[in-house]
Amino acid sequence: MNKLIEISNLTVGYDNKPKVLTDVSVTIYGGDFLGIIGPNGGGKTTLLKAILGLLKPYSGTISFFENGKKVPSINMGYLPQINQIDKKFPISVSEVILSGLTPPKHLLSRFRLEERQSVRRVAERLGIDHLLKRAIGELSGGQLQRVLLGRAIIDNPKLIILDEPSTYVDKFFESNFYKLLGEINKDIAIVLVSHDVGTILSLVKNIACVNQGLHYHPGTDISQEWLAGAYESCPIEILGHGTLPHRVLMNHDHVENDLHSND
């Protein structure tokens, strides 16, 4: 299996908190569906920002590979949390999806017919082709989620990164959305950050817990002991409800992080 990204001994943070993540190592492979879990403030979003090149590491390396060879970068798509999107911005669904394309090299037109046809094909795949002319402010949370996914995949990335995609979306749209991810994963590797351990385990192929460091577990047959060790100060239990396990926080003395702190 070809690797896409190799992270080695990564330490990264911010001016006010220089070591959010310390000595993190993990490899992401082609065709992978990696679920990332962890407590609030543990560094999940910080890791995504480092992979996307939005944060420069203090130490360690992030290397990219294509066809077995090291390259400066790979094509990646990104789906942010819905609450980061300004729904009042005057832009249509079609324009949002188009914005995921690499800027056109030709100077005489913004986008060619071929690129606009790609938008329609992606929209049809996601079941939103009837929304292409609608303004994003008119969409439900589930519809907007699919539009953002369309923007993430239209440029045929090797990997897409999703940060808490089910936030602020009702369970019906969440269920359908995750079915779409399963289909997309046949062609594209996925990294999915979620606070919901139960959902993660039902979807992904491998799991990593980020809590200042990183604990990697191949496969999803994880034990209570592994989770307790990975979460450390936020011990959790997994309770089975039918075939789907759910995360439950146990009694502990963990102090909640400020809602505005960097994760």
Contact 12, 57 (CB under 8 A): yes
Q: What is the CATH number of the domain that holds 239?
A: 3.40.50.300
In a domain, residue 261? The reply is no
In a domain, residue 240? The reply is yes
In a domain, residue 62? The reply is yes
pLDDT at 65: 96
Beta bridge partners of 206: 34, 219
pLDDT at 133: 93
Angstrom distance (rounded) from CA 213 to CA 170: 32
Residue 24, both tokens: 């993190």
CA 248 to each of CA 19, 224, 236, 245: distance values in angstroms, whole numbers, following the listed order: 28, 11, 6, 10
In a domain, residue 148? The reply is no
pLDDT at 134: 93
Contact 115, 104 (CB under 8 A): yes
In a domain, residue 137? The reply is no
Pair type for strands 189-193 and 206-211: unpaired
What is the pTM (predicted TM-score) of this model?
0.81
In a domain, residue 21? The reply is yes
Angstrom distance (rounded) from CA 74 to CA 68: 12
Angstrom distance (rounded) from CA 89 to CA 113: 25
Residue count (the chain) = 263
In a domain, residue 178? The reply is yes
pLDDT at 259: 31
Among 25, 13, 23, smallest CA distance to 55 is for 13
Domain that holds residue 183: 3-85+157-249
Per-residue pLDDT of the chain (263 residues; tens, 9 = 90+): 789 999 999 999 998 888 899 999 999 999 999 999 888 888 999 999 999 999 999 999 999 999 989 999 999 999 887 666 777 788 899 999 988 887 655 444 566 777 888 899 999 988 899 999 999 889 888 888 889 999 999 999 999 999 887 665 556 666 778 888 889 999 999 999 987 777 778 789 999 989 899 988 888 777 667 666 666 645 444 433 334 344 433 443 433 333 334 56
Contact 147, 63 (CB under 8 A): no
Tally the domains of the chain. Answer: 1
Angstrom distance (rounded) from CA 15 to CA 209: 24
